[in-house]
Structure 1
Amino acid sequence: MTAMSLAKALSNAATGLSAVARGTGVVSDNLANIQTPGFARREMVLQARSLGGNGGGVRIDNISRVVNAGLLAEQRLAGAARAEASKRLEFLQKVEDVIGVPGSVGGLGEALTTFQTRLLDASGRPEDENRLLNLAQSAIELTSRLNTVSDIVQTARTDADAAIALDVKTLNDGLARVAYLNRRISSVGSQGKDPSPLIDERQAIIDQVNVIVPVQEIARGAGNVALFTISGAPLLDGTKPSQIEFEPAPRLSAELSVENGSIGSLIVDGKVLPASRMHFFSGGTLSANFEIRDHLGPQIQQELDSFVLELHDRFADPTVDSTIAADALGLFVDGGEPATSEKMKGLAARIALNPVVDPSAGGELWRLRDGLGAYEAGPTGDSSLLIGLENALSRGRVPPAGSVFGENASLGRRLATLESRVISRRNSAETDSALKNSQADAISERFLSDGVNSDAELQRLLEYGQAYAANARVIQAIDEMMDQVLRW
């Protein structure tokens, strides 16, 4: 064997050992980062090396990141949809829990049934003051639960408002970080260094942004990327990201709404984003929080207020209690005043028992039997008013003006309709959430299988071990040959 042949063989073996060492490091990185967010599988790219016009082993061309861009886009879209559906379901489940389902303990249905039962008990023994006291207490409990449901709905709207502010901050911070990483990746790449770790970090940041607002990632020159919402609104295209602002409210009530300008809207690059353009930011947690604050919450509040207005009107009817005049205070009051359709918004939060029959407020229990406007107590055995009150509760009635209900129904039936709507929305949200979870899981599984596969990496590691042994044997053989040549 000539000296040139020995040199070529030695070069082949030496470059092979170098490639094996680098390849082993790539496999180790892949296995160590298999659960690291944003990490993409690395592959070593080799090219034949020329030595004097002839083969001279291999050289490492680059270490490439292996990412299926289409699958990554699918995973992001599915992840944002999962987060949006989860937010919506969480709110509707909370509302269903506090309103209750038919037959549940602690719900509105139980409170209304108890109130009706106490009316029947009192009408059977109108002279029994304990039964009148139980009736008053059941009325207070009913109004208290209505107040609680309204409070929980408005608290959920307030929480959603605060979550919008947090989403906006996270979104701005994420976009600023992506812009910074764009600059760093461009700089590192121009120096001939490997920017892969920075690209991994950028991918993880974009994944976080995507949960808030699903994004399209578009490649630009020098390793940079631009980000747009799915509907095409620019978030980052260049060196400066869009600036998004939002001012949360300290506490929301039913009277506060985006329609009357009393709560905040998104401000994008100094311009208020109208409701008609909110679809540009749809699909993630940001749009879910806006939906809870501006649509789902007010919708449920309006249904509660409609129910409470009907409860009020049934017991403020002079044909039921002849001792009260039209527009006078009935059994239930709105902050010390009669409830009206014009001031219905937020009524469920304000409804209370009329103080004239509330013992804790100095009221007199006999008025439940003899009339709210009676000058003095009547015969203790007269149950006609109590029977009239129970009939007012149970007979069918057309809903008052401004109500979201349309059919003629008893108050119990009206509450059943409200419960049914809440349950239907929760069921729909639960089905949607389960579907979105299933889709996201399936796509994530495909994405992970396309990423770091531990079995494949271990197989590659075994191949590198075999290549290392083969190259080492070549070098050993050349060493032995050189020893023989030198001895001659």
Structure 2
Amino acid sequence: MSLSTILNIGVSGLMTAQNQLSIVSDNISNLNTPGYIRKKLEQNAATVNGVGAGVTTGQVNLSTSTYLQSASLKANSASSQAQAYYELLDQIQGQFGDISEAGNVFNLGDEIFTTFAKAAESPQSTASRQEIVTNLENFLDETTRIADQIQTIRKDADLRISSGVKSVNDLLKNISQLNGVISQAYVTGGDASGAQTTQSQYMDELSKLIDVGVSSNGTGGVTLRTQSGFNLVTKDFMRP
């Protein structure tokens, strides 16, 4: 083995070590950065005619687990769904008021039956009849108010759905475009970790809107499907 070959092996080792240190430095610097995913650098042995010729650096990848990522996205979806149900049902429940309050719709209904019972004891009493009418009017006014408020809540829910659909489409478009960027970086040996991190953040946002499953597409990007199996993003192609 010639001296120049030995020197080249040493230089390749130093360059690889320098690249590894750069990756470690990025990981440490972004330790507390929200959404940052730890990077790792592939290292490959170089050979010439079957003889070791040092090392080379490979692709920069993210230290992620597809299984854990899928579990995280599913948990995000379940949590967001439960939160949405809670907010809407809480608004509806709030319209019925506290049962301890006199103006509560259930108490107003009880008052109607109470006044009916009193009127039965003195059917000729004008005051009893008037009290029945007043209580019925109060009850019907309250039920009408509740019905109107529920319709308002339904309209707000429809608006949220419409806004959510737009957000889903925008996120799918961004994820699909990043698939192309990531695939190109893999083909040319470039660093796709930044695009992958951004894509991961988009998927986290998407999981809060719909229940999605994720798998690798083999070129660093992702394939997204609904839990029923419908393709949303495949490589750099997005379903309409």
What is the TM-score when the length of structure 2 is the normalising length?
0.77
- Secondary structure of 1:212's counterpart equals coil
Q: Of residues 149, 153, 156 in structure 1, which corresponds to 2:150?
A: 153
State the distance in 2 between where 1:18 and 1:237 align.
Answer: 36
Cα RMSD (Å) of the superposition?
3.7
Structure with max Cα Rg: 1
Q: Of residues 192, 195, 209 in structure 1, which corresponds to 2:192?
A: 195
Residue range with higher mean Cα deviation, 132-141 or 186-195: 132-141
Task: Note the residue ranges of structure 2 that are not aligned, 5 or more in a row.
Answer: none
Q: Of residues 34, 37, 40 in structure 2, which corresponds to 1:36?
A: 34
State the distance in 2 between where 1:73 and 1:177 align.
Answer: 19
- Secondary structure of 1:226's counterpart equals strand
- Superposed, 1:276-315 pairs within 5 Å as none
1:177 aligns with 2:188: no
| 1:188 partner letter | A
Seen in structure 2, the aligned counterparts of structure 1 residues 206 and 152 have a Cα distance that, compared at 3 Å, is: same
Seen in structure 2, the aligned counterparts of structure 1 residues 237 and 24 have a Cα distance that, compared at 3 Å, is: closer
8 Å contact 2:196–2:221 — kept in the other structure? no
Match of 2:205 in 1: 208
TM-aligned CA deviation for residue 30 of structure 1: 2.2
TM-aligned CA deviation for residue 141 of structure 1: 2.5
Seen in structure 2, the aligned counterparts of structure 1 residues 137 and 216 have a Cα distance that, compared at 3 Å, is: same
TM-aligned CA deviation for residue 70 of structure 1: 0.8
TM-aligned CA deviation for residue 231 of structure 1: 0.6
Seen in structure 2, the aligned counterparts of structure 1 residues 25 and 141 have a Cα distance that, compared at 3 Å, is: farther
Seen in structure 2, the aligned counterparts of structure 1 residues 216 and 173 have a Cα distance that, compared at 3 Å, is: same
TM-aligned CA deviation for residue 121 of structure 1: 7.3
1:96 aligns with 2:90: no
- Superposed, 1:325-340 pairs within 5 Å as none
State the distance in 2 between where 1:23 and 1:223 align.
Answer: 20
Seen in structure 2, the aligned counterparts of structure 1 residues 181 and 114 have a Cα distance that, compared at 3 Å, is: same
Task: Note the residue ranges of structure 1 that are not aligned, 5 or more in a row.
Answer: 244-488
- Structure with larger RCO (C-alpha < 8 A, sep 6+): 1
TM-aligned CA deviation for residue 175 of structure 1: 1.5
| 2:26 partner letter | D
Seen in structure 2, the aligned counterparts of structure 1 residues 202 and 48 have a Cα distance that, compared at 3 Å, is: same
Q: Of residues 219, 228, 231 in structure 2, which corresponds to 1:231?
A: 228
Q: Percent same amino acid at aligned positions?
A: 23
TM-aligned CA deviation for residue 226 of structure 1: 2.6
State the distance in 1 between where 2:234 and 2:144 align.
Answer: 49
State the distance in 2 between where 1:72 and 1:235 align.
Answer: 17
Seen in structure 2, the aligned counterparts of structure 1 residues 50 and 34 have a Cα distance that, compared at 3 Å, is: farther
- Secondary structure of 2:100's counterpart equals coil
State the distance in 2 between where 1:56 and 1:99 align.
Answer: 78
State the distance in 1 between where 2:7 and 2:233 align.
Answer: 53
State the distance in 1 between where 2:236 and 2:14 align.
Answer: 43
Seen in structure 2, the aligned counterparts of structure 1 residues 189 and 16 have a Cα distance that, compared at 3 Å, is: closer
8 Å contact 1:215–1:229 — kept in the other structure? yes
Seen in structure 2, the aligned counterparts of structure 1 residues 64 and 70 have a Cα distance that, compared at 3 Å, is: same
State the distance in 1 between where 2:185 and 2:54 align.
Answer: 29
| 1:223 partner letter | G
TM-aligned CA deviation for residue 97 of structure 1: 2.4
State the distance in 2 between where 1:11 and 1:55 align.
Answer: 8
> Over residues 409-451 of structure 1, what are the superposed CA-to-partner deviations in whole Å (9 max), with x where a residue is unaligned?
xxxxxxxxxxxxxxxxxxxxxxxxxxxxxxxxxxxxxxxxxxx
| 1:173 partner letter | D
- Secondary structure of 1:193's counterpart equals coil
Match of 2:110 in 1: 113
| 1:206 partner letter | M
TM-aligned CA deviation for residue 111 of structure 1: 2.1
State the distance in 2 between where 1:10 and 1:223 align.
Answer: 31
8 Å contact 1:112–1:142 — kept in the other structure? yes
8 Å contact 1:215–1:230 — kept in the other structure? yes
TM-aligned CA deviation for residue 80 of structure 1: 0.8
TM-aligned CA deviation for residue 33 of structure 1: 5.4
- Superposed, 1:218-257 pairs within 5 Å as 218-237=215-234, 239-243=236-240
Match of 2:75 in 1: 78
TM-aligned CA deviation for residue 137 of structure 1: 4.4
